[in-house]
Chain A
Amino acid sequence: MALTKVMGQNFRAFVGSAAVPEATNCQVTIQGNLEDATTKDSTGGWNEEQMTSKQWSVQVDDVDASLATLRALITRFNSDSKTTVGWDQTAGAQNREAQNAAFARSGQAILNDLSIQANNRTTIQVSCQYQGSGALA
C-alpha cells in the first residue's frame, strides 16, 4: 500500500481559529533540551541523555501584507499577549478547512519575531514567528 504523504500546501499554520491567510511557507520547530545523564554506571562508551525541557515555535512567511494585518500584528507584538497557535492539514474552500489530522497540534504562543521586508516596487513581505508558551497538545 502506498504511503499517504502530506503536501506542503496542505500543512498550514493556524492563529486563533483560522488558517493564516495567503501565507507561502510555514515552519514548525519542536525541540527538546537535553542534559548529559552519563554516570560511571553507563557502559559501552555512549553518553546517556535526559530531557530537561521542551519548546516549540511556528514561523509563517509571506502573510497577507494588508494594512489591517500589519496593524494587527504590530498590536499583538506590543501586547505581549498569548494566542492560540498550531497547525493542521487543510482542504476545502481556499484550502483553509482544518482536517483534524492525527499530527495536528496547538497551544498558546507569543508573537516574538516580526519581520517586514520592503523592496522597491514590490509588495512588502511580512514574516512572523510565534514562540510556544506552555504545553503543545
Chain B
Amino acid sequence: MSKKNDTPAIEVGKPIKVEAATRAEVAEKLKALRQQADGLTAQGGFIEYDGGEKFSAVITFVKP
C-alpha cells in the first residue's frame, strides 16, 4: 500500500501553489517543500490571506 503524500512534486522553475484553511497549515506545507528541495533555492513563499477563509502561497524552486 502506498503512503499518502500531499506534498506536490517539485519541478525546477515551476511555481507551486499551496492552499489551506490556516496560515500555520500553509507554513507547514512550505516547510515540507523546502526540506524536500535539497540544494535548490526557493523564491516567493509569501502567505497570502484572501480576507475570507483561505490562505495560499506560491513558491518556486530554482537552481542556485
Contacts and interface: CB of A to CB of B under 8 A. Distances in A.
A125 interface: no
A88 B47 CA distance: 9
B16 interface: no
B41 A93 contact: yes
Interface in B1-50: 23, 26-27, 30-31, 41-50
A13 to B, nearest CB: 10
B49 A107 contact: yes
Q: On chain B, which size bracket covers the interface?
A: 10 to 19
Interface residues of A, number: 26
A118 interface: no
A92 B41 contact: yes
A114 interface: no
Nearest to B48: A84
B53 to A, nearest CB: 10
Contacts of A106: 46-49
A126 interface: no
Interface of A: 14, 16-19, 82, 84, 86, 88, 92-93, 96-100, 104-108, 133-137
14 contacts: A17-B46, A19-B46, A88-B47, A92-B42, A92-B43, A93-B41, A97-B44, A98-B45, A100-B26, A100-B45, A100-B57, A106-B48, A135-B49, A137-B55
